[in-house]
Amino acid sequence: MRLNKYISEAGKASRRGADKLISEGRVTINGKVARIGSQVEPGDDVRVSGDPIRVARNYVYIALNKPIGITSTTEKSVKGNIVDLVNHPLRIFNIGRLDKDSDGLILLTNDGDIVNEILRAEHKHEKEYIVTVDKPITPDFLKNMTEGVKILGTKTLPCKIVQLSKYVFQITLTQGLNRQIRRMCEALGYEVYRLQRIRIMNIHLGNLPVGQWRDLSKKERTQLFRELNYEPKEW
C-alpha cells in the first residue's frame, strides 16, 4: 500500500496532508525516514512524529449453513458455487470443503492466514457431524468406527461416536480425509443417506437456517483465535 494511503486510512491525515508529513521528514518506516511514494508492507512499523500508526484489515469470518447441492468452490464457472450463494460484498473463500451431497456448517473468510491454521492436519481440530445411514446401527459398527477404519490406504484416527437412534449417529473427527465419513461407512457395508456438519472447533451450527449465513460473534472469534494461537495481521 502506498504510504500516503496508509496514513490516510489510519486516520492520521488526508492523502495530501500525508504527503506534507512525509516531505517534512516526520514519517518513518521501520526506523528509516520515508519518502514520497514509499510502499508499506504488512508488518511494517510506521510512525508519524514518533507515534506508531496502524490500519486494521477489514477481515470477515462467516458461518454458513450450506445446503445440499452447493459446491464448496470459489470458481464462478461452477454452477451452484458457494460464493454466489453467500453473495458477500467482499471477496471471500471457504475454509475447507463440505461435499456437494452434504449440508451444514462451513466457514468462509477473506483472511488467508487463518485458513492454514484451521486446516493444518497436525492440529487435529474437532469437527462434528450428524449422520443417517441406510440400515440399523450395530455395536460392531460403532466399535469399528470409533477405533478406526482402513480407507485410502490408511487407517482413520480414533474418533468419538454416539448413537442417536436406530439409523442416526453423531461423530466427532480430528482429521479430514476426502469424503472420510462416507468412505468409512462404505467400508463397513453402510451407505450414508444424510451427512450434516454441526460444529467446527468452537463454532456451532445452532439454529442457523439452511442457505443462510451469519458473521461470527466477537466471543466466537476470540475463542477461535485463542485455540489457534492466532492473531490477525494488521497493515
State the burial class of residue 25 (Cβ atoms within 10 Å of its Cβ: 0-12, 13-18, 19+): exposed
pTM, entire model = 0.79
Write out the residue limits of the CATH 3.30.70.1560 domain(s) in the chain. Answer: 126-200
Say how far apart CA 107 and CA 214 lie, in whole Å.
Answer: 10
The pLDDT value given to residue 181: 98
The chain-wide mean pLDDT, for the chain, equals 93
Cβ–Cβ < 8 Å for 176, 96: yes
19, 44, 51, 99: the active-site residue: 99
User: Tell me: the pLDDT tens digits for 56-93?
Assistant: 678 899 999 999 999 999 998 999 999 999 999 888 98
Pairing of strands 127-133, 168-173: antiparallel
Cβ–Cβ < 8 Å for 4, 34: no
When pLDDT is cut at 50, 70 and 90, the band that residue 233 belongs to is low
CB burial of 49-73 (b: ≥16 within 10 Å; e: otherwise) equals eeeebebeeebebbbbbbbeebbbb
Q: Where are the alpha helices (DSSP H) in 106-166?
A: 112-119, 139-147
Cβ–Cβ < 8 Å for 96, 118: yes
Cell of 29: 518506516
Level-2 CATH architecture, domain 3-53: Roll (3.10)
99 is catalytic: yes
Level-2 CATH architecture, domain 57-123+209-229: 2-Layer Sandwich (3.30)
Write out the residue limits of the CATH 3.30.70.580 domain(s) in the chain. Answer: 57-123+209-229
Level-2 CATH architecture, domain 126-200: 2-Layer Sandwich (3.30)
Nearest to 224 by CA among 118, 121, 129: 118
